[in-house]
Amino acid sequence: MTTTSLLHVADLHKRYGPGCAACAELTGPSQGRSQCPRCGTVYACVAANFSLQTGEVLGIVGESGSGKSTLLQMVNLSIAADQGQIWYHEPGGSAPVDLLRMDAYAARRFRNDRLGIVHQRPELGLNMHFSVGGNVAEKLLLAEWRHVGRIRGRTSELKLQTELPPERIDDEPYTFSGGMLQRVQIAKALASRPSLLLLDEVTSGLDLSVQARVLDLIRRIQWEEQITMLLVSHDLGVIRQLARRTIVMKNGHIIEAGLTDQIMEDPQHPYTQLLVSSAL
Amino acid sequence: MNTTLLEVEDVTKTFILHLIDGRSITPVQAVSFRVAIQDHLLIYGRSGSGKTSILKCIYRSYLASGGQIWFSSECYGRIDLVTANESSVLRLREREMGYCSQFLRVLPRVSALDVICEPLYRQGVAREVAQEQGRQWLSDLGIRPHLWQASPVTFSGGEQQRINLGRAFIAAPRLLLLDEPTASLDGATKEIVVRMIRAAQANGTTVISVSHDLAALGPCANYQLALA
Amino acid sequence: MQQNDDHLYTFGLLDEDAKREIRRSLLKAVAIPGHQVPFASRDLPIARGWGTGGLQITLAIITPEDTLKVIDQGDDAGVNAVNLRRLITQTTGVATTVATSEASLIQTRHRIPEEPLRADQILVLQVPMVDPLRWVEPNLERATVMHGEADYGRMWVYMYESVVRAGDLRIASQYPVMVNGRYMMDTTPIPRWDVPRLDMAEALFLFGAGREKRIYAVPPHTSVVPLQFEDYPFRTEYQAGQRCVRCGAENTFLTSHFVAGPADGGQWVTSCSDTNFCDQRLGAGEVQP
């Protein structure tokens, strides 16, 4: 681990099921499946290792069921890992801490203060019963902001940054379009100035023209804030536009990692070659 | 004699095509050359002779299968681009190495001005400062101002290529890799490109270009390397 | 067990096992201030929703030596108060009083007496709505997890939105508070006026919800802090210039009545909600006309 690593994921595992002696032999990319035919155990993530430098955008690509979202959710501390460590080194902080060794209270606190997440489906990231402004304010309130004026100030700043119409700040989320809701999610994720932004298929549900504008927004925010991002997508085009390094997952395993353009232009693993050659 | 910026030693690139019964092809076989600071090396040869592959091996878009590529960087000193870790390569790309591909590949609905300024934004240059420079480059490249806010996706092939080149030059890298910089350009625009390369050289940039257009680029290159 | 052949019922109506179960829940509630403890709410001769939670607590802890006071909205003569008092005295035979200072056990609906309570007094409150998170998380299981993890962000959003929408904290009753810096508690049984009286009090406060089958408590000397913002602090219903028409008190919780008049058809007047407090001031001649 180098000194500038923000995150170092070491030997991370997640499986659903009891496991059996035959699992190791019968699952994985070489077998083309993540579920053991003998005992039914699903291996969602096996021995994941990667580092994330401060200010970097890392893409995780793979088809549905490859384990990319599981990996992201484990970093978000919303799915408990079975085994492994997630070392987090606060920029300017002293020693790295293992996020998986924190108690539930500290984990929630960490997730709120240091992480921001944008989900594919806005209902997962937003509370549809609160106004858009309230949703964005939630992160600040959780971080114990207790001054309505200052919260209003920060939410207006975020609205400007994410190009949301300021006059609609107090409207309910259901009156917003899909692209707008992604902007609201982004504004909420950024509210507490997190050190790591997690993006889970953020543009997958959007039509193409809106998709491009949301991606442009994310990219601009990355340049302006130099925020570290972990980006999950099955869309190589999205990965190419945003991520500088990319991890390829298949059947719960990381099969290849490298610079994004190298993964796209000189893929090494047979599966990555198939994936790249299949892209539109 | 100028100091050496880049030393390519015995570089080989082999592709294993897993989708086509695992056969392998080797477009680059034990190539070696050196480039000194402020030189312009022109690599030429017929199509499929591995010109672009060498360029991509230097930029690390391709993983070289053998050999070393020594780059005298400001960030890390003398570094082998074949084995350097990814974050070092990323930092070199941001600060010292520029690459201009044959085709412009950008996000739709992003303006030409923002596209050309992208490398500066990435470096953390303030938006206003970056755009000032961007406007200068766009006008030097002969892109009419009413197109500046339009997306380059809607531009003609020649205009796209000019934007592409502008993007590579704007960050003033120490080493500039140009892949067919004059392809799909008319005579007048080729002139502009040649002038840009000369100006960049004069400002301390080292250029390696790959082309079969010896007529246009030949006169401005210090050295030429022919590939069979 | 106190079984007297002369009586139709056991002392305090409830059977001893039921009382023991309620007392056990009470002990837990006192040990974890503000935490909602489930209990097996019994059927009683009055309907759920009419104070059965408070009544069960009272019946479980009352002793023959106690002196009982029962109030409804601060009024000793309210319908609810009269009926509950009758039921408790008929099944226990304890002495009753209207004077707050003489009571050892006070059962109340919607008020804490104006007169400060002492360490030897217990106040039992009838609770209509138990969980402050009900508004933001209707699913009981999820709300329980939120309490367990002190995950109160959503309630804060609710408060924030009430400020943004109404320009102030417009939550009339059911004002949420943090108890002992840990659990969020609803104050449905009392107006905002009484909320500060829970903080670092001398007396023990016991809360019973019969319909929702929950018991919770605020022990003496426990911090009770209302949710508030720096620029929108918690405020009681107090209005400058308010005054009781009977005793002239300027610093009590008031209720308003419509008084019919001969000429102009009548008018609204306000008087102390705590009738005993008002009467005492009248008796002591503290009236300032």
In this prediction the ipTM stands at 0.88
Q: Distance between CA C286 and CA C289 in Å, rounded? A: 9
Q: Is A236 in contact with A206 (CB distance < 8 Å)? A: no
Contacts of A138 in chain C (CB under 8 A): 153-154, 156-157
Name the stretches of chain B with pLDDT < 50: 1
C170 pLDDT exceeds 90?
Answer: no
Contacts of B104 in chain A (CB under 8 A): none
pLDDT the model gives residue A98: 95
**Could you say which of A2, A212, A268 has the minimum Cβ distance to residue B109?**
A212
**Residues C47-89 pLDDT 10s:** 888 899 999 999 999 999 999 999 999 899 999 999 999 999 9
Q: What is the sign of the dihedral through the CA atoms of A27, A29, A31 and A33?
A: positive
Residue type, C90: Q
What backbone phi and psi angles, to 5 degrees, belong to B172?
45, 60
All structural domains of chain C with their residue ranges: 16-226, 238-289
List the one residue out of C27, C51, C52, C49 whose CA is nearest residue C37: C27
Chain A CB within 8 Å of residue C149 CB: yes
pLDDT the model gives residue A99: 95
pLDDT the model gives residue C289: 45
pLDDT the model gives residue B46: 84
Q: Is B139 in contact with A273 (CB distance < 8 Å)? A: no
pLDDT the model gives residue A191: 95
Chain A CB within 8 Å of residue B27 CB: no
pLDDT-derived band at C272, boundaries 50, 70, 90: very high
Q: How many residues does chain A have?
A: 280
pLDDT the model gives residue B107: 83
Q: Distance between CA A37 and CA A30 in Å, rounded? A: 14
Neighbours of C250 (CB within 10 A): 13
Inter-chain CB proximity C230 and A147 less than 8 Å: yes
**Could you say which of A133, A137, A149 has the minimum Cβ distance to residue C231?**
A149
Q: Distance between CA A49 and CA A81 in Å, rounded? A: 13
- DSSP code of residue C37: E
C210 in active site: no
- The CATH number of the domain holding residue B199 is 3.40.50.300
Query: How high does pLDDT run on average in chain A?
Result: 92
3-state helix, strand, coil in chain A (%, to 5): 40, 25, 35
How many independent structural domains does chain B possess?
Answer: 1
Q: Is A38 in contact with A19 (CB distance < 8 Å)? A: no
3-state helix, strand, coil in chain C (%, to 5): 30, 20, 50
In angstroms, what separates the C-alpha of C64 from chain A's closest C-alpha? 46
Looking at chain A, the whole-number percentage of residues with pLDDT higher than 70 is 98
pLDDT the model gives residue C93: 93
**Could you say which of C153, C161, C164 has the minimum Cβ distance to residue A142?**
C153
Inter-chain CB proximity A259 and B89 less than 8 Å: yes
- If you average pLDDT over residues A124-134, what whole number do you get? 92
**Residues B160-218 pLDDT 10s:** 989 999 999 999 999 999 999 988 788 888 888 899 899 999 999 999 999 988 888 88
B24, B63, B128, B129, best to mutate vs chain A, most A CBs in 10 Å:
B63
pLDDT the model gives residue C285: 66
DSSP of A149-190: HHHHHHHHHHHHHTT--GGGTTS-GGGS-HHHHHHHHHHHHH
Options C78, C181, C272, C283, the catalytic residue: C272
pLDDT the model gives residue B45: 86
Q: Is A14 in contact with A45 (CB distance < 8 Å)? A: yes
Q: Distance between CA C130 and CA C278 in Å, rounded? A: 30
- The CATH number of the domain holding residue A26 is 3.40.50.300
Chain B CB within 8 Å of residue A179 CB: no
Encoded tokens for B78: 């003398």
How many independent structural domains does chain A possess?
Answer: 1
pLDDT-derived band at A228, boundaries 50, 70, 90: very high
**What are the beta bridge partners of residue B208?**
B41, B177
Strand blocks (E) in chain B: 4-17, 23-36, 40-45, 66-73, 77-80, 97-100, 175-179, 206-210, 223-227
pLDDT the model gives residue B1: 45
pLDDT the model gives residue C5: 54
CATH classification of C16-226 is 3.40.50.11310, yes or no? yes
**What are the beta bridge partners of residue C180?**
none
Options C244, C265, C266, C285, the catalytic residue: C244
pLDDT-derived band at C265, boundaries 50, 70, 90: confident
pLDDT the model gives residue A1: 37
Structural domain range at position A145: 5-278
> Between C16 and C259, whose confidence is greater?
C16
**Residues A145-198 pLDDT 10s:** 999 999 999 999 999 999 998 888 888 899 999 999 999 999 999 999 999 999
Contacts of A58 in chain B (CB under 8 A): none
Inter-chain CB proximity C157 and A152 less than 8 Å: no
pLDDT the model gives residue C7: 64
**Could you say which of B62, B89, B105 has the minimum Cβ distance to residue A266?**
B62
> Between C92 and C173, whose confidence is greater?
C92
- Report the range of poorest mean pLDDT among C78-92, C228-242, C251-265: C251-265
pLDDT the model gives residue B2: 59
The SS3 of residue A123 is helix
Chain A CB within 8 Å of residue B19 CB: yes
pLDDT-derived band at A115, boundaries 50, 70, 90: very high
**Could you say which of C149, C156, C164 has the minimum Cβ distance to residue A133?**
C164
pLDDT the model gives residue C1: 44
Q: Distance between CA B132 and CA B114 in Å, rounded? A: 11
pLDDT the model gives residue A89: 94
Contacts of A129 in chain C (CB under 8 A): 136
Strand blocks (E) in chain C: 37-38, 67-72, 95-96, 105-109, 122-126, 177-179, 183-185, 204-209, 214-218, 224-226, 254-259, 267-272
Inter-chain CB proximity B109 and A209 less than 8 Å: yes
Q: Distance between CA C276 and CA C255 in Å, rounded? A: 14
What backbone phi and psi angles, to 5 degrees, belong to A55?
85, 0
pLDDT the model gives residue A2: 44
In angstroms, what separates the C-alpha of A11 from chain B's closest C-alpha? 20
